[in-house]
Amino acid sequence: MTISDQIKNLIRKGREDGYILKSELDKHISSFSLVDQNYIKNTIEGFKIQIVNTEVDYDELKYLSGQDAIDFLQNLSDGKYSAFKKDEEENNH
């Protein structure tokens, strides 16, 4: 398997898991120039895949946005507040 195929497989796994271990990535790209290594890392992060030192460092909420973020925050609420909700009056207009 070529280095390119190995990197593609690593990215596929990263998309499933949400992260790639830095040590695993470095193993595949260490022979590349620093410019190429940075390009690959930036591309991976552009796919919203985190590059982490350990699995514990993975933050599943890092890229949460939009309605998913609103739903998550509302689930944290004790129900006394109605942040991020449209007023009933606005919905009727």
pLDDT tens, residue by residue, 15-68:
998 899 999 999 999 999 999 999 999 999 899 888 888 887 766 666 555 666
What confidence score (pLDDT) does residue 69 get? 62
Q: Could you tell me which residue, 54 or 71, shows the higher pLDDT?
A: 54
DSSP character at residue 50:
E
Total-model pTM: 0.62
Q: Pick the most confident of 4-8, 59-63, 77-81.
A: 4-8
Res 84 pLDDT > 60: no
Per-residue CA distances from 82 to 2, 33, 63, 67 (Å): 53, 52, 23, 15
